[in-house]
Amino acid sequence: MTQLITTDLVELDQNLGSTPEDVIRHLAGRVAANGRATEVEGLFADAFARESKTATGVPGGIAIPHCRSTAVTHPTLAMARLSRPVDFGAKDGPADLIFFIAAPEGADQEHLKLLSKLARSLIEKDFTASLRAATS
């Protein structure tokens, strides 16, 4: 079984651009570069289409862009801690912690379970503080 997230899918203190489009495109590229999607553009298009429907920013400086895509070969979670926060539409301001969920098309239950589990974890202030303090 493929791990959901690996160190190759995590970026710390990076400037990935100034818009959600920039960040999502970069993370889609990382997912594809790690052999978890067949192409960047298809994954990016699906993820950005989802983002365009409803912003994925949540309170606390967090964004969870996500999608199901035919380009995805393995359920994947990529994470970035941004050096320059980006506005993903949360009411309290831009996000510095980005969690990109990429699920294969048709993996509705797995996608929803992952999204729910991640959201529950991110409510814990100690958890998000540890993510912001991590050095590796």
Structural domain boundaries of the chain? 7-133
> Distance between CA 105 and CA 62 in Å, rounded?
25
Asked if residues 99 and 11 have their Cβ atoms less than 8 Å apart, the reply is no
Identify each DSSP E strand in 28-65 by its residue range: 57-58, 62-63
Say what the pLDDT of residue 111 is.
62
Q: Mean of the pLDDT values across residues 82-107?
A: 94
Mean pLDDT, rounded, of the chain? 92
Q: Mean of the pLDDT values across residues 39-64?
A: 95
> Minimal CA–CA distance to 9: which of 71, 74, 55, 84?
74
Who wins on pLDDT, 38 or 1? 38
Query: One of 26, 66, 74, 111 is an active-site residue; which one?
Result: 66
Asked if residues 71 and 35 have their Cβ atoms less than 8 Å apart, the reply is no
Asked if residues 87 and 55 have their Cβ atoms less than 8 Å apart, the reply is no
* Reported CATH class of domain 7-133: alpha beta
Q: Mean of the pLDDT values across residues 88-105?
A: 95
Who wins on pLDDT, 2 or 87? 87
Active site (annotated) includes residue 66: yes
> Minimal CA–CA distance to 30: which of 97, 83, 78?
78
Count Cβ atoms below 10 Å from residue 130 Cβ, excluding itself: 10
